[in-house]
Copies of this chain bind each other. A is one copy, B any other.
């Protein structure tokens, strides 16, 4: 029903995560009807500029515009403590806490045989390379508490422990401000198992 260039635009936006048909239509019409030509040009430019200037940090594999990234090259960070995460947005989430002073390693996914994602598809060799070149005292597995995230943490810990490095897993439990009543059973079990003396 839409003119072809509008339909093409809607389909492009529909491919993005969290954007359904209705949202894609709304965004497309907003671009065409409410934004100036210059604003649209700036939007397209920022997409292309970000894509061309951002690459993976050769050390931690996080997205960066400098190599190595700001975190890996910071003298304030403890390079012997590596936090392993699935995706760059997990790094951003942990950085927001301002509480972690080690460095990261981004796997770019999690093991999932059903989706055809095997160890070779993740940045695991890059992690092993780091262990062989730098002194590492502890590796924190901060993959998601999902089936694939947990499988990845277990796989990596089995791979790393024989190398004499301490491997830990982030705690799972009731979120702060959360309500016991609404917690699912697995989270409750994890919260009980992970109880600590007060």
Give residues in A with beta carbon < 8 Å to B.
1-6, 8-9, 12, 16-19, 23, 25-33, 35, 37, 40-54, 63-66, 69-70, 87-89, 92, 95-96, 108
Please state if B33 and A26 are interface contacts (CB–CB under 8 Å): no
Find the B residue at minimum CB distance from A16: B27
16 A-B Cβ contacts within 8 A?
A1-B92, A6-B54, A8-B50, A9-B46, A9-B47, A9-B50, A12-B43, A16-B27, A31-B50, A32-B63, A33-B88, A33-B108, A40-B47, A40-B48, A41-B51, A44-B45
| Given the contacts A26-B89, A88-B33, A92-B25, A6 and B50 also touching, CB distance less than 8 Å | yes
Quote the shortest CB–CB distance from A117 to chain B (angstroms). 13
Q: Which 10 A-B pairs have the closest CB atoms?
A: A5-B50, A3-B65, A9-B50, A44-B44, A40-B51, A29-B89, A12-B46, A5-B53, A1-B95, A44-B47
Copies in the complex: 2
- B89 near A3 with CB under 8 A, answer no
A47 touches B53 (CB 8 A): no
Distance in angstroms between the alpha carbons of A147 and B33 in the assembled complex: 22
Closest-CB distance, A70 to chain B (whole angstroms): 7
A17 B26 Cβ-Cβ under 8 A: yes
Known pairs A31-B50, A33-B87 / 13 extra A-B pairs, C-beta < 8 Å: A1-B95, A3-B65, A5-B46, A6-B63, A8-B46, A8-B49, A9-B50, A17-B26, A25-B92, A31-B51, A32-B88, A37-B51, A47-B47
